[in-house]
């Protein structure tokens, strides 16, 4: 039986898994009737949104998670991010990981001007009265637990909203929130 591959625009509030011990968690199986044996490649935490690749092919999962494949995120951060903070993001950033200190690999980071236009999230971020926000594009080649959020916080600009928009050459594009598209393969290189 041939392997199947899917692109999902993961909504806010869902976990990147099909089963859990927590009865109140929203799962991927609640979005679409994926075939048995489907697995999420990498994860987006419950508060994160955007591109999630799913497959029935375990070898494909290993390939996508390799450090050769770029993962691009758009992060809405608290405050007007500075050039200095962007430069710091591009260098190794020390973050906490499972109680240990971890130094990230160098990455790409740019201010997004104008700000991207995404549909409103199901849970409001905050009001403008709490101060300005800005959007930044961050491209990493690793995927540690809550890494991008920890990186922006480490340089003084905590993430308010995080959306993965690209893995390799596979883009989120205009796929609707909660939308699923089956593809023949993922364009990774």
pTM beyond 0.75, yes or no: yes
Q: Pinpoint the residues of the chain covered by CATH 3.30.70.1560.
A: 71-167
Q: Pinpoint the residues of the chain covered by CATH 3.30.70.580.
A: 5-65+169-183
User: Pairing between strand 49-55 and 5-10?
Assistant: antiparallel
Domain 5-65+169-183, architecture per CATH: 2-Layer Sandwich (3.30)
pLDDT by residue for the chain (189 residues), tens only, comes to 789 999 999 999 988 888 777 777 888 888 888 999 999 988 899 999 999 999 999 888 788 777 789 999 999 999 999 999 999 999 999 998 888 899 999 999 999 999 999 988 877 777 677 889 999 999 999 888 889 999 999 999 999 999 999 999 999 999 999 999 999 999 887
Q: Integer distance in angstroms from the first to the last C-alpha of the chain?
A: 26
Write out the catalytic residue numbers: 45
b (16+ CB within 10 A) / e for 14-28: bbbeeeeeeeeeeeb
Give the closest residue to 35 by CA, choosing from 14, 13, 54: 54
127 Cβ contact list (under 8 Å, min separation 6): none
* CATH (residue range 71-167): 3.30.70.1560
**What is the distance between the alpha carbons of residues 22 and 189, in angstroms, rounded to a whole number?**
37
């Amino acid at each position: 039986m041939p392997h199947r591959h899917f692109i999902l625009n993961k909504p806010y509030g869902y976990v990147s898994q099909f089963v859990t011990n927590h009865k109140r968690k929203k799962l991927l199986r609640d979005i679409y009737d994926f075939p048995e044996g489907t697995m999420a490649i990498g994860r987006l935490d419950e508060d994160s949104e955007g591109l999630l690749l799913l497959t029935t092919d375990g070898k494909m999962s290993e390939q996508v998670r390799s450090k050769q494949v770029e993962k691009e995120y758009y992060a809405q951060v608290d405050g007007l991010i500075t050039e200095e903070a962007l430069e710091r993001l591009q260098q190794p950033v020390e973050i906490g990981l499972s109680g240990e200190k971890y130094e990230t690999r160098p990455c790409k980071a740019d201010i997004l001007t104008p700000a991207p236009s995404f549909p409103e999230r199901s849970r409001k971020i905050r009001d403008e009265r709490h101060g300005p926000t800005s959007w930044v594009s961050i491209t990493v080649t690793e995927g540690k637990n809550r890494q991008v959020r920890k990186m922006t916080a480490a340089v003084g600009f905590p993430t308010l909203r995080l959306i993965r928009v690209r893995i390799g050459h596979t883009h989120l594009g205009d796929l609707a929130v909660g939308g699923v598209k089956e593809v023949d393969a993922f364009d990774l290189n």
